[in-house]
Amino acid sequence: MRIGELASLTGVSTRLLRYYEEQGLLRPARTTAGYREYGEEDTVRVWQIRSLLAAGLTTRVIGELLPCATGPVPVLEACPDLLATLRGELAELDARIDDLTGNRVALSHYIATAHGTDAEHAA
């Protein structure tokens, strides 16, 4: 199938499919005329990529995990370094959550302070 057909089947734009190819996540065959030719397995691969992106993983990490992926959801089979990679990503996510929580506390403090100032001026 051509790129437009894959885009229709997966709901992913042709531009994004080309980006996935640039990142090494998709590897379509080429016709003698140079057109991209995708197989049914590429439909599943796109769904896998979308699911892994939705989990907050980067395309670099997804590239490492795709050889371990089966099925459209995907299920990750045991591969070398798979757990270490996922644990590292989870640790980074936890650190970002901690940073955002600190940001939220600080912003809440500023709002409370500004609210107190507004109340003083209103009295």
Model confidence pLDDT, tens digit, residues 78-97: 888 888 999 999 999 999 99
pLDDT digits (tens, 9 = 90+) for 18-65: 999 999 999 999 999 999 999 999 999 999 999 999 999 999 999 999
What span, in angstroms and rounded, lies between the C-alpha atoms of 122 and 56?
A: 45
* Confidence (pLDDT) at 72: 86
Contacts of 24 (CB under 8 A, 6+ apart): 63
Here the tokens at position 60 are 């670099």
Here the tokens at position 61 are 């990490």
What span, in angstroms and rounded, lies between the C-alpha atoms of 65 and 88?
A: 13
Q: Is the pLDDT of residue 118 over 70?
A: no
pTM of this prediction exceeds 0.85: no
